[in-house]
């Protein structure tokens, strides 16, 4: 874990072992989805297409973006639901391994106590 705050791509490029690990884990049936901040890592991380300056996206690119954003929306919705329900999860700076256990517990509480699902 690195101290302070930094952009995701900065952390990704600092830890040079992450991209090769993602490349080994992923394939066409199991892509790694990212937002446009990962555009420079498009060989490993699948991102949506940006609208070109003064141009339009093709129908194929628009279809890709709809599918990509629809898949990402599930995770984004789950993250939002957890952070809005449990205020303690909004500004966490713990080790990712430790926060995973806390989020798992919060998810169980969300399902049981609040009858909510992601």
Residue 3 falls inside a structural domain: no
- As a whole number, the mean pLDDT across the chain is 83
**∠ Cα 89 69 71 (to 5°):** 75
Determine the average pLDDT of the residues in 88-95: 78
Q: What's the domain range around 58?
A: 8-113
Residues 6+ apart with CB under 8 A from 55: none
Residue 118 falls inside a structural domain: no
Domains of the chain: total: 1
- pLDDT value, residue 69: 92
Residue 107 falls inside a structural domain: yes
- Mean pLDDT: which of 57-61, 88-92, 97-101 is highest? 57-61
Q: How confident is the model at residue 78 (pLDDT cuts 50, 70, 90)?
A: confident
Q: What is the DSSP string of 45-78?
A: EE-PPPPPTT----HHHHHHHHHHHHHHHHHHHH
Residue 59 falls inside a structural domain: yes
- pLDDT value, residue 3: 61
- pLDDT value, residue 116: 64
Residue 2 falls inside a structural domain: no
- pLDDT value, residue 42: 75
Residue 1 falls inside a structural domain: no
pLDDT tens per residue, range 12-69: 888 888 888 888 888 777 888 888 888 888 788 889 999 999 999 999 999 999 999 9
């Amino acid at each position: 874990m690195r101290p302070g705050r930094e952009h995701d791509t900065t952390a990704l490029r600092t830890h040079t072992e992450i991209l090769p690990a993602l490349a080994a884990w992923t394939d066409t049936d199991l892509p790694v989805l990212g937002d446009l901040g990962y555009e420079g890592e498009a060989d490993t991380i699948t991102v949506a297409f940006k609208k070109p300056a003064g141009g339009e996206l093709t129908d194929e690119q628009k279809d890709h973006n709809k599918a990509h954003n629809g898949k990402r929306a599930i995770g984004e919705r789950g993250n939002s639901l957890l952070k809005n329900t449990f205020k303690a999860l909004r500004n966490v700076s713990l080790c990712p391994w430790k926060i995973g256990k806390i989020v798992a517990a919060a998810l169980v509480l969300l399902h049981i106590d609040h009858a909510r699902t992601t």
